[in-house]
A and B are shown apart, each in its own frame.
Chain A
Amino acid sequence: MIHHISLAAFDVSTTQLVFLLLNGLALSMLYILIASGFAVIFGITDVLNFAHGIFYMLGAYLAFTVVDATGSFFVALILGPLVVAGLGIAVERLTLHHIYDRSPLYHVLITFGVLLIVTDVVELIWGTGTKFFPTPELLGGAIAIGPVIYPRYRIFTIGAGALIAFLTWALFRYSDFGLIVRAGAQDKQTVRLMGVNIGRYYTLIFGLGTFLAAIAGALAAPFLSVNPEMGNEALIIAFVVVAIGGLGSFGGSIVAGVIVGFVQTFTNTFASELSGFVLYGLLFGVLVLKPEGILGTYEIREQAAKLSYDETIKPVNLTDRRVMAVVGLLLIIPFVSRLPSVSQYGVGLIALMFVWGIFALSLDTVIGYTGLISFGHAAFYGIGSYAVALLTVNFTNSFVIALAVAILFAAAVAWLVGAISARLSGLYFAVVTFAVGQMLYQLALSWSSFTGGSNGFAIDHVMLFGIIDLSETFAFYYISLLLLVSLYYVTKRIMDSPFGLQLQAIRESERRAKFVGYDTNKAKRRIFAISGAIGGVAGALVTTRQTFTSPDSLYWIVSGDALFAVILGGVGTLFGPIIGGAVLIGLDQLLTIYFDQWRMILGFVLIVIVLFAPRGLVSFYYILEDALGNDRDADPTASAGSDADSINGDK
């Protein structure tokens, strides 16, 4: 982009340049505030906070309300963020605080649940319209800076942002609090041995992080608009900045905040059609060249950080007979209910549940078996969807061909994602996959001549063997069921293979897997390709049914839902996630009829599941087996609930 700027500079006056530089600086400050809160939480507590953007948004809305009530912007600027920080602290105390010893996957899901809830609460209180936020009187108007007349409020933002960032830095650098917290981030055990209650510091850190997010939101309110989309935008900014700067590095988020702020300001002016995409191009470049980010480091510790999968259970021995019984039942459902519109709806809904079963199954191979937290599975779903759509519009409406192409493309991209991120593990992996997913989303949005832009496009009916119309409910029902059952058996077989055993070895300890001689990077690429292919099937099916595609199929919320489904069903069990996917989409479709704010309910369900039944719905299977006195393959440790009171070392 440097290229663009220098070319354009010839016909840009000094005035405009100074103006742009100041704009870049103002935006940078906001980004620094957003990202540093996110980085601080991650760096110290290892929690990847998906609710960060929502706290930013809440800061803006609360400031709006306080200004409305008191008329004072400065009261709002302090009060709003303090309230949000209090909320952050409450969230931490009630949920995360009890599960720090668990896999980070569960932390991510808690914050995702909070995001779902708060999004709807904001909508309930403030509605969906954009709020006009007046510039505070004292800071209104403009002042002259050299040749430029510049809005006073933005100057204030630059100053306030710099001051807050500096104070935060000083807090970590010079206070006892900062010292302990930094030591704790390095080595929790030692700090505990020194008699420090590290848990209490985590609560404070979470409060501080949310405070930073909220104050950024309040500062942004007068010059960016206040609307329900701003939370998502901030979250993505936080991810991009932090991934570029180095996960968990405070300094990194400052450097990257400046880079991203300026790059965005200049592309908005000189190449606005690229503005969404440049950000991701930048990120992609960094990830390929230095996956740990500009100032990020890898630390080799004696005991490399690994996911604890105590929450997993051995796959239930689902006998073929049981599977066949269920499938038999599903086969006859359409006949039994072959009556008017209501049952058509029901059959269609069940078919959609099959598809989400496939999608969750695809994710389980990566998360449950290999221990890789993918937060970008929407990418493969979306690629499947677009592959079918584009093929149908441009070449052929044959389902077999479309499906093959969807599988091929999804697998190829997944393989690439696996290759790029193979060096990373744990949450670094989640960040990279998230970024890749969002990059494709942006691509679909921006490349509108090819993808139809944000509206997407409609397609013809897709035909099986030229005669069966697969957008028709019953045909779709059977093809989805067929694919679901086959893919279940295929993945089951793969997971039972030597390769499958290798994947579990990687999940348990990648380092050890390397030291017994496995090429773990290769295994990761392969399982990613397999998983991507299966995800592609799900996306292809949905588009076949709806005869329509849009960038929504690539949006990161789809990835979040898939994770939700996997946990809901029972991670690492293959058939559990299938049930989870089915139940989730079923609830989704039914609740949406009755409430506008149904995702809030899902958020609560998610949090309850994570806290009290981390093994998911599958654990009820054991309880049922126990109750029937058939404890043949019951897991003695599968008691849901007891996991909630964990050992934090500070009780």
Chain B
Amino acid sequence: MLETKHLTKKFGELQAVSDVNLSISRDGIHSIIGPNGAGKSTLFHLLTGYLKPTEGEIRYNEEDITGLAPRKIVRKGISRSFQIADLFEGLTVKENLQIATQALDEKRNAIWMSSDALTTTLEKTDQLMADLELSELSDVRADALSHGDQRKLEMGLALAVEPDLILLDEPTAGMGKQESVQMMNLIQRIVNDRDIKLILIEHDIEMVMQISDRITVLNRGEILAEGDPKEIQANERVQEAYIGTEGE
């Protein structure tokens, strides 16, 4: 479904992503792990057009999407969340999701009609709010939400554009253990129901091992290992890379 060839991003001297060759299939959950600064977020930035690669190529369903603008990549069916929530802070939960959902409507640029006349958009918005268990907070401003609800809304914005492939950058960042588990259950449920391929960046190794079908380990921009959870757990190089970064 998604492939990269020799994907590389340099920031000056620093190789944040270095010669990464990925081949990600349609099925199951694919996780990307690695210590801080390994280049995980940068990889997402490259895949979604936020940054242009220094070298290399990205193919999605056989099509070359390297260097396309974010909005074009979204239209191809790839959406993402950010590690630090990027919400429409001054607007309500409902407006946030309505904006994102409306982006699919062919009347999204209409000037001379009320936005509330796009009934399908409104219905989808309500449905999504319900799926995210945010309905009760519909009229609360995004910046007034609890951290956990902000993370949910962040994911909601990525889901609203009805992607085939979703990239979530640490969706449980900053959450307690129990809350994280709930969030992960919610994610799994939604992704299954809507038949969306998920690529996940996640710090909690235990959780990753439980839910992933495949795992890529990044270290200093390079792929250190790739395989199913068992293989990764047994991999000595992975264990080495993680020694000393314990407790982060």
Contact = CB atoms under 8 A, between A and B. Distances in A.
Interface in B65-97: 69-71, 74-75, 79-80, 82-84, 86-91, 95
Contacts of A501: 95, 98-99, 102, 115
Given A303-B86, A508-B88, A508-B91, A497 B51 contact: no
A297 B23 CA distance: 34
Nearest to B105: A498
Contacts of A300: 50-51
Looking at chain B's contact residues, is the secondary structure mostly helix, strand, loop, or mixed?
A: loop
B86 A505 contact: no
A515 B167 CA distance: 12
Contacts of B109: 498-499, 502, 522-523
Among A501, A505, A519: residue with most chain B CB under 10 A:
A501
Given A493-B114, A515-B86, A517-B75, 9 more contacts: A304-B86, A496-B116, A498-B102, A499-B110, A501-B98, A501-B115, A504-B88, A504-B95, A520-B71
Nearest to B86: A512
B26 interface: no
B98 A514 contact: no
Nearest to B69: A514
A455 B95 CA distance: 51
Interface of A: 300, 302-304, 308-310, 312, 493-494, 496-502, 504-505, 507-509, 511-520, 522-523, 526
B83 A502 contact: no
Contacts of B50: 300, 511, 515
A497 B84 contact: no
Query: Top 7 A-B pairs ranked by shortest CB distance?
Result: A508-B88, A517-B103, A517-B74, A516-B100, A516-B103, A505-B99, A498-B115
A497 B115 contact: yes
Interface hub of A310, A512, A514 (most chain B Cβ within 10 A): A512
B113 interface: yes
Contacts of B88: 504-505, 508-509, 512
A509 B86 contact: yes
Interface of B: 41, 48, 50-51, 69-71, 74-75, 79-80, 82-84, 86-91, 95, 98-100, 102-105, 107-116, 118, 157-158, 160-161
Contacts of B69: 514
A488 to B, nearest CB: 16
Nearest to B110: A498
Contact of A515 (B79, B98, B113): B79
A518 B103 CA distance: 6
Given A501-B102, A517-B74, A512 B87 contact: yes
A516 B99 contact: yes
Contacts of A515: 48, 50, 70-71, 74, 79-80, 86, 157-158
Nearest to A371: B90
Nearest to A310: B90
Contacts of A518: 71, 103, 108
Contacts of B100: 516
B142 to A, nearest CB: 8
Contact of B115 (A496, A513, A526): A496
Contacts of B114: 493, 496-497
